[in-house]
């Protein structure tokens, strides 16, 4: 009885993870490319100390700079950076 319950829970977890990854790759198709991941990690690493270099700022389009600057919390800023790099 316990074995079938564990199998059922594992099946639901696998289904959830597959759905999550399919959703992420649908929203951000560039997440599977090295160029997109490198862009995202470069911006996060450069801005982690609180100051961002001019080279990094120049690599981001002005539209996304305005959105990132107006974001109310860090979560939204990361989402906007992801939009810039992965789309």
CA distance 44 to 63: 18
Tens-digit pLDDT profile for residues 37-57 = 888 888 888 877 777 778 878
pLDDT band at 28 (very low <50, low <70, confident <90, very high): confident
Q: What are phi and psi of 48, to 5 degrees?
A: -70, -25
Task: Assess whether pLDDT exceeds 70 at residue 77.
Answer: yes
**pTM for the predicted model, two decimal places:** 0.66
pLDDT, residue 83, reads 85
pLDDT, residue 79, reads 85
């Amino acid at each position: 009885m316990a074995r079938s319950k564990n199998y059922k829970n594992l099946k639901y977890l696998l289904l959830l993870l597959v759905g999550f990854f399919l959703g992420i790759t649908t929203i951000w198709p560039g997440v599977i490319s090295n160029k997109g991941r490198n862009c995202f990690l470069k911006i996060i690493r450069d801005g982690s100390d609180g100051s961002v270099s001019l080279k990094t700022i120049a690599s981001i389009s002005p539209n996304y700079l305005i959105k990132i600057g107006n974001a109310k919390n860090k979560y939204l800023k990361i989402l906007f950076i992801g939009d810039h790099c992965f789309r």
